Amino acid sequence: MSKYFAELHFVLQQNDLLEAPERIYNIDETGFSTEHTPPMVECGSECKPQAITSPRTRTVTIVGGANAIGNNIPPFFVFPGMRCVDHLLEGALPGSSGGMSDSGFVNRGLFETYLMGHFAKHAI
């Protein structure tokens, strides 16, 4: 653990970030199913209920980012499909954007779009 923090300190120092937490960002993604709602199952505390998921479940991925002082980047949605339809972002937070992939997962092209377009626009 101490080796990790020593390396982190070196990287932060080398990039002049020790006194600039507003320039330190964490980016992560999460996916969720749009078609699966697990049933309500009641059982005792000694049991773990099992849910069966349909293999046809579609996934939407959300990429989010925030800096070390708590400012966040609006979400970037990755929808399953081939053509982006404007109404997919209706009701999303202001500044949200998105793209499409066959699977609904982030791929290299979409991550580059996120970083160079969406993230760069909101992080500056």
Per-residue pLDDT of 78-103, as tens digits, reads 999 888 777 889 999 999 999 999 88
**52 pLDDT above the threshold of 60:** no
* C-alpha neighbours within 13 Å on the C-beta side of residue 66: 6
- Residue 56: pLDDT band by 50, 70, 90 thresholds? low
**55 pLDDT above the threshold of 60:** no
Full-model pTM:
0.76
Residue 3's pLDDT is what? 97
Cα 29 to Cα 18, 23, 63, 110, 119, distances in angstroms: 26, 20, 4, 12, 13
Residue 53's pLDDT is what? 57
Residue 50's pLDDT is what? 63
Rounded mean pLDDT of 14-40? 87
